[in-house]
Each structure stands twice: as structure tokens, then as C-alpha cells.
Amino acid sequence: MRKLLIIVSILFLTACSSEEITSLDEMKISPTDFSKRETILLEGIMGQEVLGYDVKSIPNEHLLNIIVEHYHDGVKQENVVEMADTFLEENKLESIVITKEKTDKSFTFKTIVLYENGFNSMVSNGVYEEVNASSLFKKLEEEVTFTLNEEIIIGLAIEDNGNKLMNGTLKEDDPRFQEIIDLYQDVFVYKVSVSKE
């Protein structure tokens, strides 16, 4: 619990300001700029791979969906993260943070949704079928505008034991995206979407 309070404090201090969107159908997601010290703290407390995003432009009374899909040897497995959170006017959405920590045999995802007056968190664990020797992590590094029910890929983790890793893509319509899923031992795809309740 103390660790979560530290994380919430860090996120309050580093939350990026964001323009309000006039259209309720358009929203923005943008990376939270953590200092080097804050990144080291988050990695030490929560995991080796850290994604932090400002999501203030998402309207009240909508449902934020956070999903991490897992593919093993090209076959989709059960999602390792499925979190849906509704936010109301009195509890305005600020930021989300997703982390992944791995060992040779297992992985742990930690997800935090930060509100103006608190937070919600979730932890999920999984086990690798085979040991992965190398990994590559790519995350969304620019502001993106999206619409209701549109899934946005905000991160991609590629892990394998032998093949040379190619740079990932965050676009499902890019031919490399399916090639990456088919070629590598374990691929994790981080997605966010917003829907009406």
C-alpha cells in the first residue's frame, strides 16, 4: 500500500497538462514525461517496462478499457490484462500506468488508473511456456487522437529465444505487425479504448 501511495504521489507531480477536446467523440492520449529519477523509482517499485499516459481528455461517464493481449508462437492466448474503469464527474481521470516485470519463468503486469481523488489498481500474473533470452519493448511516444470504440496500441513487447528481434510497430494494419506475432515466441500488445457505459 505504501508503494502505491508513492506512485500516486509521483503521478500527481508529473501529470502533463492537456488541452480539452471540444468534440466528445475525439479524445487524446499522450505520454507522461517522467524524469529519470521517477522512471528509476517506478521501475524499482513496479516493473522493468513502464508505460505512463495522460488521459485527461476522456469525457466523464465513459468506460476506459485497458487490455494486454498475449501471443505465444503466433497463437493468441488469454489476455493477461483486462481492466475496465468508469469515471464520473466527481472523480476525474488523470493518468494510467502499466508496468511489466519478468523473470525466466513468469511475468507480472501492474496497472494503475489515477483519478483526481484516488486510484484503482490491478495486478495479473502469468507463466512462460519457454524461457526467453532476449526482449524488445516499444511504446507510444507521441500524442494520439482517437475516437469512441477505437482501439489504440500503446505498447508492444517482443520476447524470443534465438531469433534476431526486429523493431516493432504499433499499427495493426502494418504487415510487420502480423509478421512479428507469427515469428516470435512471446508478444504482448498493450491496447486502450474508450466506450460508452
| 31, pLDDT greater than 80 | yes
Q: Kindly report the backbone phi and psi dihedral angles of residue 182, in degrees, each rounded to the nearest multiple of 5, phi listed first.
A: -70, -35
Give the number of domains in the chain: 1
The strand pair at 26-31 and 144-147 is best described as antiparallel
Q: What pTM value is reported for the model? A: 0.83
| 36, pLDDT greater than 90 | no
Q: Which domain holds residue 79?
A: 2-196
Greatest mean pLDDT among 23-32, 87-96, 150-159 lies in: 150-159
pLDDT band at 24 (very low <50, low <70, confident <90, very high): low
Does an H or E element contain 39, and which? helix 36-46
